[in-house]
Chain A
Amino acid sequence: AQTVTQSQPEMSVQEAETVTLSCTYDTSESNYYLFWYKQPPSRQMILVIRQEAYKQQNATENRFSVNFQKAAKSFSLKISDSQLGDTAMYFCAFMRGREYGNKLVFGAGTILRVKS
């Protein structure tokens, strides 16, 4: 079974600082997809960033970037210039492909608190 591990249950960071959230996964597949979703107190699930495993270049979206290490099966999220609105639960998720129902397998989440 595919598993996703987020080893940091909670983290905090000062406003304007940089923080990195960790994620590791276990798979024997060579082609797959990785995602980070943000869940603010409203409970809405919001896509932060997406990475395709066959692409070596790390994905970036404004202040959000990933460090994708395929051999190490690691997919960390870096948030630069942290803002109060970044306070949320962050979920790392793994997806194989259509033949597996496009199922997202989620980690347990990391609560991030941005302090002023």
Chain B
Amino acid sequence: EAQVTQNPRYLITVTGKKLTVTCSQNMNHEYMSWYRQDPGLGLRQIYYSMNVEVTDKGDVPEGYKVSRKEKRNFPLILESPSPNQTSLYFCASSLASGSGETQYFGPGTRLLVL
């Protein structure tokens, strides 16, 4: 089944404890992206990747890191999580990096930082 997977789906952690949220797609998609969803704000882009080893900042990159060493994986790293990073996180991918490609979303990861 073609899909974007994220792990973990739920995570409770404490301030300052490094964590990684994994994202993997099995569709050979070129483009991948991370968004966070907060009430009243919709979804906002954190980072994106046009292809392997090519990443760039979105609108809210502070406090996050990403890497794209393989085409299928795009992990999101929080080096020192803070309570304001409590949110619902989505990974998304699209077949190509051309303009207007539809992005398909993973199931989401709910993160609570205490």
A binds B: yes
Contacts of B48 in A (CB 8 A): 101-103
Contact B102 A106 (CB under 8 A): no
Report the bound CA distance from A47 to B43 in whole Å.
14
Contact B42 A108 (CB under 8 A): yes
Contacts of A15 in B (CB 8 A): none
Contacts of A97 in B (CB 8 A): 99-100
Residue in B45, B88, B104 whose Cβ sees the most chain A Cβ within 10 Å: B45
Contact A102 B31 (CB under 8 A): yes
Size of the B side of the interface (Cβ < 8 Å), in residues, is: 30
If A91-B42, A101-B48, A108-B41 touch, whether A44 touches B102 (CB-CB below 8 Å) is: no
Q: Across the A-B interface, how many residue pairs have beta carbons closer than 8 Å?
A: 73
If A35-B102, A44-B105 touch, whether A103 touches B45 (CB-CB below 8 Å) is: yes
Contact A98 B98 (CB under 8 A): yes
If A35-B102, A102-B101 touch, whether A107 touches B42 (CB-CB below 8 Å) is: yes
Q: How far is the CB of A52 from chain B (nearest CB, A)?
A: 6
Contact B103 A104 (CB under 8 A): yes
Residue of B nearest to A9 (CB): B40
Q: How far is the CB of B49 from chain A (nearest CB, A)?
A: 10
Contact B97 A106 (CB under 8 A): no
Report the bound CA distance from A32 to B42 in whole Å.
19
Report the bound CA distance from A84 to B55 in whole Å.
40
Which of B84-114 touch A at CB < 8 Å?
Answer: 88, 90, 92, 94, 97-105, 107-108, 110
If A43-B107, A91-B42 touch, whether A104 touches B35 (CB-CB below 8 Å) is: yes
Report the bound CA distance from A47 to B92 in whole Å.
12
If A101-B56, A106-B44 touch, whether A50 touches B102 (CB-CB below 8 Å) is: yes
Interface status of A16 (Cβ within 8 A of chain B): no
Q: How far is the CB of A39 from chain B (nearest CB, A)?
A: 8
Q: How far is the CB of B29 from chain A (nearest CB, A)?
A: 12
Residue of B nearest to A101 (CB): B48
Not counting A97-B99, A98-B98, A104-B92, a sample of 10 additional A-B residue pairs whose C-beta atoms are within 8 angstroms of each other reads A32-B100, A37-B105, A42-B107, A45-B43, A52-B100, A99-B99, A101-B45, A101-B56, A102-B48, A102-B94
